[in-house]
Every structure is written in C-alpha cells, then in structure tokens.
Amino acid sequence: MYAIAMPRQYSMLYNASHVILPFFKSNSGVMNPTSVSSLNPITSVWCVIENIFLAATAEGLACSMRIPVGIEGINAAKAVSAPDNYLLPCYIGLGYPVDDRPFVEQIEYNAKQKMHFGKW
C-alpha cells in the first residue's frame, strides 16, 4: 500500500491547481510536550485542515494531502520565508477531480453488524 500511495501523493500535489501550505505558530512544547495543553497549536491546525477538506468536498473539489518528511517542512518554510517559529504539518493539494477518477463504493453497515461482544 505504501509503495502505491507515496508516488500518488507526489503526483496529486504536482497536478493540483492549488497547493495550500497550512503553517501554524509553534510554541516550545509542540515537538517536546510537557502537558496536553502544549499540544494545542498542532491539534488546532489539524482541525483547520479537516475543515478545509470538508468545505472543499462540499463544493465539489478534490483534495490530497502529504506530510513532509525529515527536513522537508523546514525547507518549504524557508522557501516561502515563513517565520522561524512556524511549522508546516502538511501540504494540501486542491482542485477539481478528473473525470476518469476511480469511484470507491461505500459499503453500508448497520450497528448490529459491527458490534462485537467478547470477541474481536
């Protein structure tokens, strides 16, 4: 799965009509948390990212996401002259979906089919 997904993440970003870089202001505890509240900036930005995906989908747009690896996020921040204390959690590709995209059929389940008691 990983070998298939990674090249697609690159190509979806490359072919996206727009790329969003959702930077957030980092505090000193985000990468080395000492309490749950020190993670607030990163949890907040992921809520924003989710809302971007939901809003775009509601408007008929397609989204893709890729999380920077290693120093890639730092290099992207330097390329756009972001302040030193801002971090990039992901890249978001945004655009209209292609006409020949694969359609994944959603399988409907009811709660009784998914509830398990005393077994996995």
Q: What residue segments make up the domains of the chain, in order of their start? A: 2-114
Task: Tell me the C-alpha distance between 26 and 77, whole Å.
Answer: 13
Q: Which CATH superfamily is domain 2-114 in?
A: NADH Oxidase (3.40.109.10)
pLDDT in tens, 26-40: 877 677 778 888 888
- pLDDT per residue as tens digits for the range 37-82: 888 888 999 999 999 999 999 999 989 999 999 999 999 999 999 9
Cα-based angle 71, 56, 76 (whole degrees, multiple of 5)? 15
Torsion of CA 92, 98, 103, 106, to 10 degrees: 40
Whole-model pTM: value is 0.76
**Residue 56: closest CA among 17, 82, 25, 9:** 17
